[in-house]
Structure 1
Amino acid sequence: MSFLLRLFPAAMFAAGACGPVLAETIGIAPTQSLQAALERAQQGDVLELAPGDHHGPIRIDRRVVIGGRPGANLVGNGSGSVVTVTVPDVTIRGLTIKGSGRDLQTMDSGIFLTKDAARALVENNRLEGNLFGVYVHGATGSRVQRNVIEGLRNVRLNEAGNGVSVWNAPDVVIAGNIFRYGRDGIFSITSRKDRFIDNRFEGVRFAVHYMYTNDSEISGNVSIGNHVGYAIMFSNRLIIRGNVSERDRDHGFLFNYANYAAIEGNRVTGGPRRGLIDREDAADDEKGMLPEPRGAQPSDEGPGKCVFIYNANHNKFRDNWFERCGIGVHFTAGSEGNEITGNAFVGNRTQVKYVGTQDLDWSKGGRGNYWSDNPAFDLDGDGIADTAYRPNDLVDRVLWTAPSAKVLINSPAVQVLRWAQSQFPALYPGGVVDSRPLIAPPPKPSASRSQP
């Protein structure tokens, strides 16, 4: 018995010595080598960078947390990526990161997450003037949240990178970030089950650009004054809900070979692009340059098209708001099986452009859409106009094919033709008809706040 009592403390000491080493918090001064400190760190250590400039590039090959106190900068040498992560479960927070290279082929980034960097967390950083802000290159389950990401300015479009690029990285969340400048805010290609929520985009080409990305969500984002708000291409089964496009130049939403999506509660609003593009910038833009924003001369022109739908099938457009665009919806032949109900088309120069001979009824279940230029009555008070609404007539089709005919738009002959069509509906060409138009608009959506 006495032997066992003597053995027990020794066994307990040995077990403690072989157990996991407790993580440490290690302070790093600007005069110290951050890469050397990383090579000495143990799994789970926290490296806290003091204020000042710390020099990169660095490579993280163990599970650590790198955080910065206010004023801590991580500055690359202008070649390659500033931070490269090659192991799972790394956290990077609270830093200003700048100084990447500019080689598109090597994907030079502020932070580059390799395919082995699963579940990385990049939060509360400021990434300035890097080619790519964060490149998620196959890092499954990563989160990029609450960062300010500012890309390159005054370079040609084909020389700039994206704020965040996602390639083949399922279950990624990009949430609550602010994007400015560079090519696209978020670019996703060949991925699935990702969530892009509650981000803000200014001064980029496309706020969100989807290519071959399926079963994913885009919710609660705000795009202001970009070329295109949301470009959705070759992607299936998406949820696109509660997003806002304000004063984007060409399109609020663009759908190209996008299928089986739910597009609900979004808002596209035209109007002056104040503070983003002035006349001198516009000249640069024609040369393919990305302008640096300056004080703008207000323009009354809204987006060319609130929504452009090209060969996109079996989508549900519900309860969206499209206001003050050149064209509310440009809907092309080859798009089949789409449901378009409960939407508001307000003050667009042309509410719908549809070049096709097929009749399309944009109502379902006794509910159509609201059209601000529809003069119909609602005598029975059921909220549905008493007559169907046709956004286009034969004259519109003539103008689309022969724009020079606009000089005749106020001629008596054109007015007689339009009157004859209203009296004899059989004269109408095939096209969009709303058989149950709403007499009052639905509530105007605002950006929703989703949970990361």
Structure 2
Amino acid sequence: MSLWSRLIPMAILAFGACGSAVAETIGVAPDQPLQGVLDRAADGDVLELAPGNHNGAITIARRVVLSGQKGAAIVGNGQGSVVTVSAPDVTVRGITIKGSGRDLQSMDSGVFLQKTAERALIQNNRFEGNLFGVYVHGASGSRVERNVIEGMRDIRLNEAGNGVSVWNAPHVTIEGNTIRYGRDGIFTITSSKDRFINNRFENVRFGVHYMYTNDSEVSGNLSAGNHGGYAIMFSNRLKITGNISDRDRDYGLLFNYANRSEISGNHVIGGALNNGGNARDEAAGDEKGMMPEPRSAEPAREGPQKCVFIYNANHNRFHDNWFERCGIGVHFTAGSEGNSVTGNAFVGNRNQVKYVGTRDLDWSKGGRGNYWSDNPAFDLDGDGIADTAYRPNDLVDRVLWTAPAAKVLINSPAVQVLRWAQSQFPALYPGGVVDTRPLIAPPPKPTASERAP
């Protein structure tokens, strides 16, 4: 048999095989069993849900696209996850997903991505009243983009799930989502090389909560009126840039055992909040531990108490951030060493720095320090650097930290004389933070990047 006579039948066979594998678009009506349609689908098929409620819970075990027309919803039965994905390269988009169970141990979710669901795309969906919105459980390379995720509201904080949870899933991107209600907006643990960018967080405990996640990025996010903005714990080599914390209650940025990271271009805003944007009403939250609806007529309150809290965080670079109108600009404690703090603006904080330590720290580098709104120094040579060093704390501050009851003496003649003596004899100042090259004018205020509505 000649070579051509052998090749021609093989080519015909291959063409027939390719033709039979062409992906189909399959319409699914609400009265059709969705799981049965998924089980019969082939890799590459597009399943398009018609408007109306489709019954969950379902499991996607094929490489398919599950999309919805306007008004299409998958409604769970109140047990387990509404959508479980076990196949790689699955897309779920344009669907309202609701009705998960409430079992934290089972990680009941709107969409649950198993470890085998690598490179999943969860896009343009609406999640309503699920325990967890999306749970990325080891599914590396997945993306959660432009979703609206609203968790359960009639639940105690210690029983709530997160908007998006990431566990041991490297190269995950969480981008452009709006996340409300629940425990944390995004919670990540034991992961690496992830990107959380341009998300918005409201009515949660922490906007972003990092645990044991390294070599990752948190940038361009907005946390508004939550308990805390960005809690970075036990994580290394991170890029925390361009984020906003807008009147979060307790702190804007928290670093606990976070090392060798770059923190730049962030903006933490304190001041009174009277639009009900906090994570939960204090009276109802403190008495019942519940998460009620936000109120438009809530009494004004101050927030946050601390723009930045740094606890045993080492060898980080804090530069070109704005920290304004907080109770404390920076609370710096627990032996944090080797940090560079330059080019930042500390504006209108009641206490610019609370430093709990005995070492002398110079917060300037390369001839450039920080801007301090309460620094009365002059710049006679016009080089943009104040002519005298700035010290945010004195002996009176140290006494007040260790003995708060001494506040009753703050306006006494003895305290005023002590502060005058320190200003005349700098050697009387205690060890602590000093900025030897303070800026005479603030650096440019960080501008917000485009974010999810």
TM range (shorter): over 0.9
Equivalent in the alignment of 2:257: 257
Aligned residue type for 1:94: G
Alpha-carbon displacement from aligned partner over 1:396-433 (angstroms, at most 9, x marks no partner): 01111111111111111111000000111111111100
Match of 1:284 in 2: 284
Amino acid at match of 2:188: S
Tell whether the 8 Å contact from 1:140 to 1:172 is kept in structure 2 after alignment: yes
Displacement of 1:294 in angstroms is 1.8
Aligned-partner Cα distance in 2 for 1:36–1:357: 68
- Amino acid aligned to 2:38: L
Q: Contact 1:208–1:231 at 8 Å: present in 2 too?
A: yes
Q: For residue 273 of structure 1, report the CA deviation from its aligned partner.
A: 2.5
Unaligned runs of 5+ in 2: none
The question of whether the paired residues in 1 share the 8 Å contact of 2:274 and 2:301 is answered with no
- Pairs within 5 Å for 1:388-427: 388-427=389-428
Q: In 2, are the aligned partners of 1:206 and 1:226 still within 8 Å (CA)?
A: yes
Indicate whether 1:145 and 2:135 are aligned.
no
SS, match of residue 407 in structure 1: helix
Contact 1:278-1:297 within 8 A present in 2 as well: no
Partner-residue secondary structure (3-state), 1:185: strand
- Kept in 2, the 8 Å contact 1:154–1:292? The answer is no
Corresponding position of 2:14: 15
Match of 1:222 in 2: 222
Q: Which residue of 2 aligns with 1:182?
A: 182
Check the 8 A contact 1:278/1:294 in 2, yes or no.
no
How far 1:77 moved relative to its partner?
0.3
Once residues 8 and 142 of structure 1 are traced to their aligned partners in structure 2, the CA distance between those partners, rounded to angstroms, is 41
Change (3 A) 1:337 1:7: closer
Q: Which residue of 1 aligns with 2:383?
A: 382
Distance 1:415 1:252 in 2: 33
What one-letter code is carried by the residue in structure 1 that aligns with 2:292?
A: P
Q: Which moved more, 1:124-133 or 1:398-407?
A: 398-407
Deviation at 1:32, TM superposition (A): 0.4
Contact 1:244 1:446 in 2 (8 A): no
1:323 aligned partner: 324
Distance 1:112 1:237, change over 3 A: same
Question: Which sits farther off after the overlay, 300-309 or 158-167?
Answer: 300-309
Letter in 2 for 1:327: I
Q: Could you say if the C-alpha distance between residues 300 and 309 of structure 1 is closer, same or farther in structure 2, counting changes exceeding 3 Å?
A: same
Counterpart of 2:281 in 1: which secondary structure? helix
Distance, in Å, in 1 between the alignment partners of 2:395 and 2:173 is 48
Distance in 2 separating the partners of 1:5 and 1:169: 50
**Displacement of 1:5:** 8.9
* Amino acid paired to 2:388: T
| Distance across 1 between alignment mates of 2:232 and 2:280 | 30
Displacement of 1:299: 1.8
Q: In the alignment, which residue of structure 1 is the partner of 2:119? A: 119
When normalised by structure 2's length, the TM-score is 0.96
Q: After TM superposition, give the deviation of residue 17 of structure 1 in Å.
A: 1.8
Q: Match of 2:77?
A: 77
Residue 371 of structure 1 pairs with residue 387 of structure 2: no
* Mapped pair 1:193 → 2:201: no
Q: Is the 8 A contact 2:280 2:294 kept in 1?
A: no
Q: Distance in 2 between matches of 1:229 and 1:434?
A: 27
Contact 2:321 2:344 in 1 (8 A): yes
Tell me which amino acid in the other structure corresponds to 1:187: F
Asked if 1:354 corresponds to 2:363, the answer is no
In the TM superposition, residue 300 of structure 1 has moved relative to its aligned partner by 4.8
Shift of 1:9: 6.6
Change (3 A) 1:237 1:11: closer
Partner of 2:59: 59
Contact 1:57 1:77 in 2 (8 A): yes
Give the 3 Å change call, closer, same or farther, for CA 66–223 of structure 1 in structure 2: same
Q: Is the 8 A contact 1:272 1:298 kept in 2?
A: no
Once residues 261 and 450 of structure 1 are traced to their aligned partners in structure 2, the CA distance between those partners, rounded to angstroms, is 23
Q: Give the match for residue 434 of structure 1.
A: 435
Matched, 1:236 2:223: no
SS in 2 for 1:399: helix
Q: Does 1:163 align with 2:163?
A: yes
For the Cα contact (< 8 Å) 2:206–2:227, is it kept in 1?
A: yes
Q: Which amino acid aligns with 1:309?
A: I
Provide the rounded CA distance (Å) in 1 between the counterparts of 2:190 and 2:207. Answer: 18
CA 1:197–1:264: 2 relative to 1, 3 Å: same
Alpha-carbon deviation of 1:272?
Answer: 2.7
CA apart distance, 1:312: 0.3
Residue matched to 2:50: 50
- For 1:440 and 1:269, the matched residues in 2 are separated by 19
Query: For residue 39 of structure 1, what is the aligned residue in structure 2?
Result: 39
Secondary structure of the residue that 1:150 maps to in structure 2? strand
Q: Deviation at 1:8? A: 7.5
| Cα distance between partner residues in 1 of 2:107 and 2:301 | 39
Number of corresponding residues = 450
Within 2, Cα distance between the matches of 1:237 and 1:296?
A: 42
Q: For residues 373 and 3 of structure 2, what CA distance do their matches in structure 1 show? A: 90
Partner of 2:344: 343
> SS state of the match for residue 74, structure 2?
strand
Kindly tell me: are residues 424 and 70 of structure 1, through their superposed partners in 2, closer, same or farther at Cα, counting changes over 3 Å? Answer: same
CA RMSD of aligned residues (A): 1.9
Please report how far the alpha carbon of residue 449 of structure 1 lies from its aligned counterpart in structure 2 after TM superposition: 4.8
Matches of 1:438 and 1:8, distance apart in 2 = 78
- Partner SS state of residue 129, structure 1: strand
Judge conservation of contact 2:249–2:278 (CA < 8 Å) in 1. Answer: no
Instruction: State the match for 2:294 in structure 1.
Output: 293
User: What is the TM-score with the length of structure 1 in the denominator?
Assistant: 0.96
More off after superposition, 58-67 vs 19-28 = 19-28
Change in CA separation of 1:416 and 1:139 when aligned onto 2, cut-off 3 Å: same
Q: Give the match's secondary structure for 1:396.
A: helix
Alpha-carbon distance between aligned partners in 2 of 1:318 and 1:169, rounded to the nearest angstrom: 30
- CA–CA separation in structure 2 for the residues paired with 1:9 and 1:280: 72
Decide whether the 8 Å contact of 1:203 with 1:276 is kept in 2: no
Distance 1:408 1:15 in 2: 91
Distance in 1 between residues matched to 2:125 and 2:161, nearest whole Å: 18
Residue 318 of structure 1 and its aligned partner are, at CA, apart by: 0.2
Give 1:13 deviation, angstroms: 3.3
